Amino acid sequence: MGEVMAVLTRPFGATESGRAVCLHMLSIASGMSVSICEVGAAIQSVVVPDGRGNFVDVALGYDGAPGYLHNGACIGAILGRNANRIAGARFELGGTTHRLAANDGPNNLHSGPHPWHERLWQVGEVPHDTPDGASVTLELVSRAGDQGFPGAADVRATYTLHDDQRLELTIEASATEATIINSTSHAYWNLNGHASGTAMAHTLQLESAAYTPVDAALIPTGEVAPVAGTPYDFRSGHALGDILQRLPQGLDTNFVLSNAECVERAATLVGNETGVRMTLSCDAPGLQVYTAGGLDARGKAGAHYGNGAGIALEAQFYPDAIHHAAFPQPIYAPGHPFLRRVTFAFDAPGR
């Protein structure tokens, strides 16, 4: 086993109320490192070897806490309670109608104001070595009625960097009453480097034979449609730029996974300039692929993140699942905790 470290590197600023924010860096012998910000439990950087003796930071992020405290693009962060959209900003559960903020036209997106991804999470365990890597756990308490959702939820996000260059994320949440929990990572990836401009020449391959069509407001119609013969067929892998000639608006699309709630490969992304490859595996029923149309943010070292500057691969339940009984349901109750497992494995084959 290679030498591993878990380092609390430095203060990372403060919240507007003056509470200190820290950045936690996990590193392994290959030189790969991952930094996690306590605001939003966000991935701030992922530095990987490119196979040619260089290192490249492949995750979009900010240089300090203020970026994460006002993170409208959700860069790097953990989303909750519900990632993605809920039609009409309301849902019924247990005979009660629960009303949410309408922050995406008439619909709710990523749960609404005061989102998890702009809150200060607490260190649950001191960053530490594991048998094959380094780990840090961040925790959040979501009170009963938070953002309009029923019940309270205790949430834990654990990042573990393994010495084979796998970053593992486990999100756990336990609820005090039946509620929706659909939490995921909203990291943006550019495998040419976070400041390299567009990622739309990357190659993407998906282990998905179906997707969920949507209306003009990006709310699913309820149909599960085959990708065969459509621009959404990534089973063999395609350069995103080629596909976007047929989909000029880009992707903000849920792809159906068939993993029986086991952690299985869902997506492979390859940087066209560096050759860095990221393989995402997860136990989620769906993978939302977002090619960052409309992204406009000032990131690390003053980099401008514009349209297509990164690709988000969000392991989650289908959008608006609560209104479609045939979709897998994100409903959790006491004794039935939420668990989401995602791994990001990096290498540079052929370099």
Phi and psi at residue 150, in whole multiples of 5°? Answer: -70, 155
Structure tokens belonging to residue 56 = 């490249």
Closest among 220, 80, 200, 195 to 138, alpha carbons compared: 80
- CB contact at 8 A, 307 and 284: no
DSSP for 249-283 reads T--EEEEE---TTS-EEEEEEE-TTT--EEEEEE-
Question: Dihedral of CA 68/149/342/103: which sign?
Answer: negative
* Of 38, 118, 168, 314, catalytic: 314
108 annotated to bind ligand: no
Answer yes or no: 98 catalytic: no
Continuous segment of H or E residues that includes residue 128: strand 122-130
84 annotated to bind ligand: yes
Burial class of residue 251, CB neighbours in 10 A (0-12, 13-18, 19+): buried
What CA–CA distance (Å, rounded) separates 248 from 231? 11
Structure tokens belonging to residue 212 = 């969920």
Name residue, tokens 């989102």.
Answer: 115
* Of 24, 98, 186, 202, catalytic: 186
Contacts of 76 (CB under 8 A, 6+ apart): 37, 40, 42, 43, 44, 59, 60, 61, 68, 185, 186, 187, 188
Question: Does residue 81 have a cis peptide bond before it, meaning omega lies within 30 degrees of 0?
Answer: yes
Alpha helices in the chain (DSSP H): 65-69, 240-244
187 annotated to bind ligand: yes
85 annotated to bind ligand: yes
Answer yes or no: 186 catalytic: yes
Contacts of 182 (CB under 8 A, 6+ apart): 80, 81, 82, 83, 84, 316, 317, 321, 330
Q: Which positions are catalytic?
A: 186, 314
Annotated binding site: 84-85, 186-188, 252
Annotated binding site for beta-D-galactose: 84-85, 186-188, 252
